[in-house]
A and B are shown apart, each in its own frame.
Chain A
Amino acid sequence: EEKKILFYHPNEVEKNEKIRNVGLCEAIVQFTRTFSPTKPAKSLHTQKNRQFFHEPEENFWMVMVVRNPIIEKHKDGKPVYEYQEEELLDKVYSSVLQQCYSMYKLFNGTFLKAMEDGGVKVLKERLEKFFHRYLQTLHLQSCDLLDVFCGISFFPLDKMTYLKIQSFINRMEESLNIVKYTAFLYNDQLIWSGLEQDDMRILYKYLTTSLFPRHMEPELAGRDSPMRAEMPGNLQHYGRFLTGPLNLNDPEAKCRFPKIFVNTDDTYEELHLIVYKAMSAAVCFMIDASIPPTLEFCRKLDSIVGPQLTVLASDICEQYNINKRISGAEKEPQFKFIYFNHMNLAEKSTIHMRKTPSVSLASVHPDLMKILGDINSDFSRVDEDEEIIVKAMSDYWVVGKKSDQRELYVILNQKNANLIEVNEEVKKLCATQFNNIFFLD
């Protein structure tokens, strides 16, 4: 039985207990399968915990157990712990579990691949190595609707600047001909992806929640700071590697780049991920893993991409400011909303603060976020377009709209507003924010 366990966290748990827990999970899945052969149980609600099951690859199961929140109450002078069984949202945490797998797959390939490469031993090593670090970065308390979407925030840009970026990418791919795919981001928002949508989705998540935040500090330090002076490169441009060699002038510098796995369903490609950044613009160059990038290649990349990307970044910045001025000064958004489009994974939130390295913070009460999650669950049950308006506590109204493949969630706070007024407000929001898409009233 023990051999069935490939990875268990926390590892300190006694062996027999491990086996017992895993056996229980297996039993539940097998049992529910008799009722629904194609869709076995996804989660199990108990008083203390909630368990989530996920079968990412055939015969490989991932299980995550989340403890229900506890409220301490006093009864007869004694503290009593009460589990809040209905606080956690199934969709949020099953999405988190799926992302765990996606992230593992991005950097390690499929489980099956590891088995083929070196059997259970290799798979166990890889799992241990990856999840040991990854689990520490999960912040389960602050997971919400955005984790369900796992969307991509796109950078708004005018056509001409976009075409310039296109032109830049095409030229770079031409001069650095071993580059297979390119992705372009500005301000942590995506502008171009040469990768397919699903691969980009998880890469985007890695970049914005892990890689970029880790490199924030030197940038914030400014270019005149001593930290900047230590940086490689020169005075001609601001380009630098976020992955790979730190100092190009050091002949001993190691050119090791993280490996990623994409298109695992068909072509199964293994790539080196080179992330290069100048000011707010970041480019990911992905090259085939069979060609190890040399220091010479890195220097070439730096000398070609660096100056052009620096110019492009300031172009984008300038254009962005012009556009902002035309569309009126960036007002504090009157509405708190979350928008998500399943078709292109575009996501927009005025509820969440800028993502920090650790957590993405919502600026509204967790209860409201929970209502959003509930509405989302309702939406996912039916195919048709619908609209849900909820009156929440203390003058809050929560509106959810679903039109075709788009979802919009609005939180309004108006004293003594009635249903008609709320509906009007949402219409107004759609007219101002989403007038260029087909969004049914």
Chain B
Amino acid sequence: YRMEDKGEVKCIKFSLGNKILAVQRTLKSVDFLNFIPDSPQVEYTQECKTKNANILGFCWTSSTEIVFITDQGIEFYQVLPEKRSLKLLKNQSINVNWYMYCPESSVILLSTTVLGNVLQPFYFKSGTMSKLSKFEIELPAAPKSSKLSLSERDIAMATMDLYVLYLRHHSRTSNSTGAEVVLYHLPREGSCKKTHILKLNRTGKFALNVVDNLVVVHHQDTETSVIFDIKLKGEFDGSTTIHQFVLPPRSIQPYQIPVAGPASVTSQSPVPCKLYSSSWIVFQPDIIISASEGYLWSLQVKLEPVVNLLLDKGKLMDFLLQRKECKMVILSVCSQMLSEPERGSLSMIATVFDKLNHEYKKYLEAEQSYTMVVEAGLSRSNPLLKRPVRTQAVIDQSDMYTHVLSVFTEKKEAPHKFTIAVLMEYIRSLNQFQIAVQHYLYELVIKTLVQHNLFYMLHQFLQYHVLSDSKPLACLLLSLESIYPPAHQLSLDMLKRLSTANDEIVEVLLSKHQVLAALRFIRGIGGHDSISARKFLDAAKQAEDDMLFYTIFRFFEQRNQRLRGNPSFTPGEHCEEHVAFFKQVFGEQALMKPTTF
């Protein structure tokens, strides 16, 4: 595509969605060109409204809304591509030195006053422009002359909840140890506050990027970068928090420039490109452009090396939990601290579990309150309500089980005492955050205890209900009976407490030929009118106790009499075999006679 040459182009920008191209060629006006299929490609122009004003720049805030920033104020337009004209929505007069736009938050920052250190933010949203409260950046030293002292280069905006970053250079007059980055928090409502100071402890040329909610400060002289995380604890002096860098300064991993050339010579090893060159230009949030090499990079944070740089595992977890792609790294840290050679102490492991479960619980709570609102049918009246996003920092029980705990118990390299302590520590942590523990974790505990014949330990855990009651757990215990007899009692107790497992209790008792006990139990809960006579008679017969069989048989005869007025069994009960057996043992006359009226 080729545009008509109408003079030097200062700047071009596409609207959001790439439908309209805005081109600035002069200081007074901006030209527009539609890129809509089947619409004529004829340019149209908008001059700035304010007389004698020069346009410093413009920025799109939506697909059809644009803001002109002039040295005397800002003008907010709506573009009407069909009519090929613009409509002024709002304007505001203010002296402007320079401006900065943050597209993620739709906020424009204007530098005003002579020194340029008073910043005026504006916020744009669907056709409206709102002025946020202005704030002043503290300059390192009182400027001698009244010239512009705050440079655009030293300001950046970051969207970890909107912050304005100011790179305050080292000044010889103040006794600071080096340059620092000052963070001003810019809320939607209320005034802007200085909240964080990032200590760089060095001087020279710096550049800033914001990646994954981390402030990355590049230092040209040492060719290294330092990373700050304002979510981590720092020194709090009452109004601002002072942070040191999280990790020791490290260089960016060099980019390998593939050697261009004929296919025959591409086997040549790629050349690493020069880092921290003076030709670098840095854009927010994570763009680095090398003007000399002709590359545009986006900066990323690699989490794996961090694991070895941050030795305090608690702090490491705090750091990792704030990152986007953290899950696998966190799980590998967990595995690492459970196995040699870097096995951690139990208290350290406890700290890590607590941090993970704290995050996990936050998500569960959000999810729960969301479900409650939706179920109550209030979701429509509250449009702001969103389903909570499950970030990678939410490490649930199944993650821990699959990637860490089951592998760890399988390996069996640690002493079993340690293995059990770790499992109990995880269960303790879940309980502390009132998270319901999943059955498979209990199973893992039981399996480990059984493997080491630690039945008395298991018994004690069950006695204090550390392993919560459930049908699967009760069944697991039943299966242990042959190697640990008391498991039978534990299992029955558990079934009883569940109060939904009465059928299972009857089955267990019958399988032990405790037919009378089963019958008494079912009578105790009032279920004896609906049970199958055949099942009980079968069990009584297997017990090979004639008196027992007689008693059970008689009980059912009486039930038949009570329910149907006749002691004999109906064909549907399939008890013919038992009636025959009864006759054979006790004689025909022992059968109960139907009462006649």
Contacts and interface: CB of A to CB of B under 8 A. Distances in A.
Given A174-B346, A343-B486, A438-B496, A163 B459 contact: no
B495 to A, nearest CB: 7
Contacts of B488: 404
Given A171-B346, A441-B524, A166 B428 contact: yes
B350 A344 contact: no
B492 A438 contact: yes
A313 B347 CA distance: 19
A331 interface: no
A173 B464 contact: no
Interface string B482-498: 00001011101101110
B139 interface: no
A170 B496 contact: no
B585 interface: no
B520 A441 contact: yes
B212 interface: no
Using C-beta atoms within 8 Å of the partner chain, give the interface range for chain A: 20 to 34
Contact of B464 (A162, A193, A385): A162
Interface stretch (B219-227, B403-411, B419-427): B419-427
- Of the listed residues B345, B421, B514, B524, the one surrounded by the most CB atoms of chain A closer than 10 A to its CB is B421
Given A163-B431, A405-B489, A170 B346 contact: yes
B424 A167 contact: yes
B430 to A, nearest CB: 9
Interface in A410-441: 436-438, 440-441
Interface in A184-198: 192-194, 196-197
A404 B492 contact: yes
Contacts of A193: 456, 460
A160 interface: yes
A344 B466 CA distance: 16
A385 B424 contact: no
Nearest to A405: B489
Contacts of B514: 385
A436 B465 CA distance: 11
B333 to A, nearest CB: 20
B347 to A, nearest CB: 6
Contacts of B347: 171
Contacts of A196: 456
A438 B521 CA distance: 10
A276 to B, nearest CB: 19
Nearest to B347: A171
Interface in B488-528: 488-490, 492-493, 495-497, 505, 514, 517, 520-521, 524
B464 A159 contact: yes
Contacts, number: 83
Interface string A334-345: 000000010110
Nearest to B463: A344
Contact of B460 (A164, A192, A405): A192
Interface residues of B, number: 36
- Of the listed residues B497, B517, B520, the one surrounded by the most CB atoms of chain A closer than 10 A to its CB is B517
Interface in A138-187: 154, 157, 159-160, 162-164, 166-167, 170-171, 173-175
Contacts of B402: none
B489 A436 contact: no
Nearest to A194: B457
Given A167-B425, A344-B463, A436 B493 contact: yes
Given A159-B431, A163-B431, A174-B346, A385 B517 contact: yes
A160 B493 contact: no
- Of the listed residues A160, A193, A346, A404, the one surrounded by the most CB atoms of chain B closer than 10 A to its CB is A404
B428 A164 contact: yes
A159 B424 contact: no
B486 A174 contact: no
Nearest to B345: A174
B417 interface: yes
Contacts of A166: 424, 428, 466
Contacts of A167: 346, 350, 424-425, 428
B421 A170 contact: yes
Nearest to A180: B417
Given A343-B486, A437-B493, A437-B496, A170 B424 contact: yes
Interface of B: 345-347, 350, 417-418, 421, 424-425, 427-428, 431-432, 456-457, 459-460, 463-466, 486, 488-490, 492-493, 495-497, 505, 514, 517, 520-521, 524
7 contacts: A154-B463, A159-B431, A163-B424, A163-B432, A167-B346, A341-B489, A344-B486
Given A171-B345, A440-B517, 11 more contacts: A159-B464, A159-B465, A163-B424, A166-B466, A171-B346, A175-B345, A193-B456, A196-B456, A405-B486, A436-B497, A437-B493
Interface of A: 154, 157, 159-160, 162-164, 166-167, 170-171, 173-175, 192-194, 196-197, 341, 343-344, 346, 385, 404-406, 436-438, 440-441
Query: Which 3 pairs between the two chains have the least Cβ-Cβ distance?
Result: A170-B421, A163-B428, A438-B492
